[in-house]
Chain A
Amino acid sequence: MKTLRQEFTKGFTEQLPPFKLVLGLCPTLAVTTSLEGGLGMGLATLFVLIMSNLVISALRNLIPKKVRIAAFITVIAGFVVIVELLMKAYTPQLFDILGVFISLIVVNCIVLGRAEAFAKKNNAVRSILDGAGIGLGFTLSLGVLGFIREVLGRGSVTLFSQANLKFQLLPVTDGYFFKLAVEPPGAFLFLGLILFFINLASMRQEGKKTSYS
């Protein structure tokens, strides 16, 4: 049995989505054209994950086995609607950037995957920690990918588009654009390259272990 702390930290170590746990690729690829988009999407998913894990684990003995997937999806969809309405009201610009992908959290395999693999078997406290860990890991990954793509593609990072806080990080003129990074093909290429470097690093580590033993 894992300790409560391990339940929380596994989300950004061995089960870090989407790098270690290759799930939820659509939002990862689509919204990471900017740091803000990536973080916003991550936080929205984090909220839905924690709440749906909580409700599903609390109801786990009441939901009949045969209709559990439908029941899980309905619970998740309910929280997605809450996020949708809140974002529309308080962060309309971010809502426009993320577009249809907010509604699509319903079919994000990470959320349904955690319900099926974890929340239906564990108590509420563990499920909340699991959801928080995985959700934070996802937010972090999306933030990193969004940051890399935005810096390379635009040379600057904009946070809070409502307040328009812009940080110029690369010394570039207006004519400069490494546009590929913020365009659709760049999403696939950069995610693929990050996975490659993670694989390379973990293989190096394993190689060291075996050579010492």
Chain B
Amino acid sequence: MTEYLLLFISAVFVNNILLAQFLGNCPFIGVSNKVSTALGMAMAVVFVITISSMFTWMSVKYLLIPLELEYLQTIAFILIIATLVQFVEIFIQKVSPTLFRTLGIYLPLITTNCAVLGVSIINIRNEYDFMHTLVHSFSAAVGFGLALVLFAGIRERHALCDIPKPLRGTSLALITAGLLALTFSAFKGLL
């Protein structure tokens, strides 16, 4: 149990997927102007990363390794993720229209979010078993969501400030992200 707890804390705070491992930075800079959209995106990402890394793990264990096709890993993963996202979209639309309204528009964007593919590959590289894969992917996604929502909160404040012209837009967003990453690096002492 402690082992899983440590894995959770390390993935959320210490090795934060956005701020320490640089996965999924495009939506981080792109879709983070409002807390409400950031929350929707964060939920969709937690959902997709957890499910897709389960499937990619199983595909490696039961398909690619027995058939000795490990070199096809990248192609297999991206196809699994793309199909899965499409499937999840249709499924949610059918089962829960309310949930679809909150998550719907973010789902297609997630296919090209490198965090999804990245987490799947990291799981395989670290040779996690199924439970570790599950816990690690879920906590990495929670870390993504946490950073995204915090960042969106800061950017909402920026909208009200008088910012020097050359700093506006991506430039200030990146510097803010740098300061946020600096804060998160303080968690290193935690483990």
**Residue ranges of A at the interface with B (Cβ–Cβ < 8 Å):** 22-23, 25-27, 29-30, 70, 73-74, 77-78, 80-81, 84-85, 99-100, 103-104, 106-109, 112, 180, 183-189, 191-193, 195-197, 199-200, 203
Contacts and interface: CB of A to CB of B under 8 A. Distances in A.
B98 interface: no
Given A81-B72, A195-B171, 18 more contacts: A25-B29, A26-B25, A70-B79, A74-B78, A84-B74, A100-B122, A103-B121, A104-B114, A107-B113, A108-B114, A112-B112, A184-B21, A185-B19, A185-B181, A185-B182, A185-B185, A196-B166, A199-B166
Interface of B: 19-26, 29, 71-75, 78-79, 82, 112-114, 117-118, 121-122, 125, 165-168, 170-175, 177-179, 181-182, 185
Given A192-B173, A199-B166, A81 B181 contact: no
Contacts of A22: 29, 170
Classify the secondary structure of A's interface with B: helix
Q: Which of B74, B181, B182 has the most CB of A within 10 A?
A: B74
A103 B178 contact: no
23 contacts: A22-B170, A25-B25, A26-B23, A26-B24, A26-B25, A30-B22, A73-B78, A73-B79, A77-B75, A81-B72, A84-B71, A104-B114, A106-B74, A180-B182, A184-B181, A185-B182, A189-B178, A189-B179, A191-B174, A192-B173, A196-B171, A199-B166, A199-B171
A195 B170 contact: yes
B117 A106 contact: yes
B23 to A, nearest CB: 6
A104 B77 CA distance: 11
A189 B174 contact: yes
A84 B121 CA distance: 13
Contacts of A203: 165-166
Contacts of A30: 21-22
A192 B118 contact: no
A196 B181 contact: no
**Which 8 residue pairs are nearest across A and B when measured between Cβ atoms?**
A192-B174, A188-B178, A189-B178, A192-B175, A30-B22, A199-B166, A185-B181, A195-B171
